[in-house]
Amino acid sequence: MIDKQSPIPIYHQLEEQIKKKIESGEYSPGDSIPSEREYAEELGISRMTVRQAITNLVNEQYLHRIKGKGTFIAEQKLEQKLTGLTSFTEDMLARGMTPSNKLIHFEIIPAKESLAKELDIREHSPIYEITRVRLAENVPMALEKTYISANLIKGLTEKIVQASLYQYIEEELDLKIGKASQVIEASLANKEEIELLDIDKHSPILLMKRITHLEDGNPFEIVKSSYRADRYKFMIDLER
Partner DNA sequence: GGTAATAACTGGTATATACATATGTTATTG
Partner DNA sequence: CAATAACATATGTATATACCAGTTATTACC
- Residues within the interface to a copy of itself (CB under 8 A): 59, 79, 83-85, 177-188, 202, 204-206, 210, 227, 229, 232-240
Say whether residue 49 binds DNA (CB under 7 A).
yes
Report the distance separating Cα 130 and Cα 161, nearest Å: 8
State which residue, 46 or 83, has the beta carbon closest to DNA: 46
Residue 82 is classified by DSSP as: G
> Using CA atoms in the order 192, 198, 199, 200, what is the torsion angle rounded to 10 degrees?
80
SS3 27: coil
Q: Does 47 bind DNA (CB under 7 A)?
A: yes
For residues 63, 24, 28 and 82, what is the CA-based torsion angle, rounded to 10 degrees? 60
Query: Do residues 176 and 233 lie in contact, with contact meaning Cβ atoms separated by under 8 Å?
Result: no
Closest distance between a copy of itself and the C-beta of residue 71, in Å?
18
Residue 15 sits in the site that holds DNA (CB under 7 A) = no
- Binding to DNA (CB under 7 A) within 129-158 occurs at none
38 contact choice in DNA, a copy of itself, none (CB below 5 to 8 Å, kind-dependent): DNA
Nearer to DNA, 69 or 233 (CB): 69
Q: Please state, in angstroms and rounded to a whole number, the distance separating the CA atoms of residues 161 and 159.
A: 5
Q: Between 163 and 184, whose beta carbon lies closer to a copy of itself? A: 184
Instruction: Confirm or reject binding of residue 7 to DNA (CB under 7 A).
Output: yes
Which residues, other chains included, contact 43 with Cβ-Cβ below 8 Å and sequence gap of 6+? 1, 2, 14, 50
Binding DNA (rule: CB under 7 A), the pick from 18, 22, 45, 92 is 45
Q: Which is nearer to DNA, 66 or 236 (CB)?
A: 66
Q: Is 120 exposed, middle or buried (0-12, 13-18, 19+ CB in 10 A)?
A: middle
The one-letter code for the residue type at 16 is E
The region of 30-38, 112-120, 134-142, 207-215 touching DNA under the rule CB under 7 A is 30-38
**Chain contacts with DNA (rule: CB under 7 A):** 4, 7, 9-12, 33, 35-38, 44-49, 51-52, 65-71
